[in-house]
Amino acid sequence: MCLISDYLGRKGYTVLEIIDQSVHRTIYKARHNKTGAIVVIKVLPNSNNSHRRNVYDHAHEIQIMKMLDHPLTVDFYDAFSDDERTYIVMEYLPRGSLFEYILQNGKLSEQISNNIFTQLISAIDYLHNELHIVHRDIKAENVLLDQNFNVRLIDFGLAGRISKIFPKLDFSCGSIGYMAPEIFSGHGYDEQVDIWSTGVLLFALLTGYLPFSGQNSSDIKHNILHQNIEFPDYLSKDAKNLLSKMLERNPTKRISIQGIKQHSWFSFNQYNAISDFTHRIGHINSIILKPDQLILADIEALGIKTENLGTSLFMKDCTEATTAFKIIRRQRIDSEMLY
């Protein structure tokens, strides 16, 4: 850890602690020294038996994250690499994951679940219909909570893009308990897999457990493909109806994002409030046409030059100025974002 801490120190970050660690990555809590903001640094190894594949995967994840510009998807701040590792810097979410929250609190009320679900649908709608990105790993562990209990969708390492030319994905991936039936078919799939996974997550929010379980992956896969879903009696009729439409095994019959927004259980007023707020804060590239003088002044007060900031943001370059801009912009968004 000392070598990594020293390296990150030279990059302008002070490591505070390890948040999580596995064979595939280490997550650090750190401080961005110029702004004083607390950030997360995801450290990914470059070198193992599949070095080229690892480096490609890391570059793909960074490319996807650079595209994101929605208040309910995790903010990307910076990325860099050395011979051994790739480093991805992003915003820190202090209240942990939905998985941890459910473990501590059990099932959530329909009102709280509805609030979380509506925010998630806003983020997923943005991914599908503006960026044409399929997340492919929506689960409770990949939804974090900020200080105001607003959500952030994180971990785009498995995300894929679809288009009119390539409307299907075919790589089998995801977390087994959340995987849609069509992923197992080998015939390709589209963004409807995210609707299924979000349905599984909504079920977990409302009940405190997953709809499909088993002793091993084979059992879980069998239950996803064949098991009848039993809804607890305490769920409202509307909640059961929406869940049954999201957990429809046939993806062509499964409810769409548009269908979810029109469903009686969905909070369309809250969804509109999120959309209005997103429109009001504007796209990050809007600084080129209408610079935010307050943010620019804050950056310059840190001793960072802003002359080429607009171009760097448009080109999605990682510079000292773009990192400071994104951090300060996120602080501004958080102070105003109350749904």
Q: Any residues with CB less than 8 A from the CB of 163 and at least 6 apart, and which?
A: 132
Question: Which of the following is catalytic: 69, 137, 194, 298?
Answer: 137
The number of residues making up the chain comes to 339
In the block, residue with structure tokens 């769920």:
235
Biggest alpha carbon–alpha carbon distance for the chain:
61
57 is an active site residue: no
The pair phi, psi for residue 6, each rounded to 5°, is -65, -45
142 appears as a binding residue in the annotation: yes
d(C-alpha 63, C-alpha 166), whole Å: 19
| Cα distance between residue 134 and residue 111, in whole Å | 27
Task: Check whether 42 is labelled as a binding-site residue.
Answer: yes
Q: Which runs of E-coded beta strand occur in the chain?
A: 13-21, 26-32, 38-45, 76-81, 85-91, 133-134, 143-145, 151-153, 160-161
Residue 214 tokens, joined: 């088993």
Point out the residues that are catalytic.
137
* Annotated binding-site members for ATP: 42, 141-142, 155
